[in-house]
Amino acid sequence: MAFELPPLPYAEDALEPAYSARTISFHYGKHHKTYVDTLNKLVAGTDLEGKPLEEVIGAVAGKADKQPVFNNAAQVWNHTFFWNGMKPGGGGVPGGDLGDKIVATFGSHEKFVEDFKAAAVGRFGSGWVWLVADGGALKIVSTPNAEMPVPPVAPLLVVDVWEHAYYLDYQNLRPVYTQTFFDKLANWDFAAANWAAVK
């Protein structure tokens, strides 16, 4: 069984205008798809062929000679997580246990978003900024390139800060893109379910 590009959880134009159909057509239809296609070529005929994606990532993480496999496998996983972390009519202030925990941890929702934006700006080059659960605590962490949080640290929500994620809509304005993610796009139901599974 080859890896397949997972379907988007909404229509390509469903996040307009905060995240345009044009951006998704490239970001999902070209970038994400290319990671899937390249991963399939890299594992074809190896002992990794037919293994679940998480197993492939775990098997090659930290192995220099397997870096291309890790990069493509991790990018497949990260992008699927990213798409699930947005929804039409998303964003705003989360309620429930996760919302309470964010306020308790960061001081306020607004301060959380400010800290997250600072992490996004502070990520030099390409990478990802994550809200994670770490031993019952919430943290904001950023990872370079295709890297992801390593268990037992559990990702709850992610913002892709590779330029391909935002350049068509926001040009170089990574802080505006990140602010808009939390104002209009974040799928807090997804993050809350991830939190409930690990807290």
Least separation in angstroms between residue 110's CB and Mn ion is 27
Least separation in angstroms between residue 146's CB and Mn ion is 10
Both structure tokens of 135: 């031993």
Q: Which of 106/166 has CB closer to Mn ion?
A: 166
Q: Which of 80/194 has CB closer to Mn ion?
A: 80
Which parts of this chain interact with Mn ion (CB under 5 A)? 160, 162, 165
* Residue least distant from Mn ion (Cβ): 160
Q: In what order do the strands lie in the sheet with 137-144?
A: 137-144, 127-134, 154-160
Q: Which of 160/169 has CB closer to Mn ion?
A: 160
Tell me which DSSP letter residue 186 carries: B
Cα(15)–Cα(132) distance, rounded to whole angstroms?
24
User: How far separated are the first and last CA of the chain, in Å rounded?
Assistant: 34
Q: Shortest CA distance to 87 belongs to which of 190, 173, 167, 5?
A: 190
Least separation in angstroms between residue 196's CB and Mn ion is 27
Least separation in angstroms between residue 27's CB and Mn ion is 6
Q: Which of 32/101 has CB closer to Mn ion?
A: 32
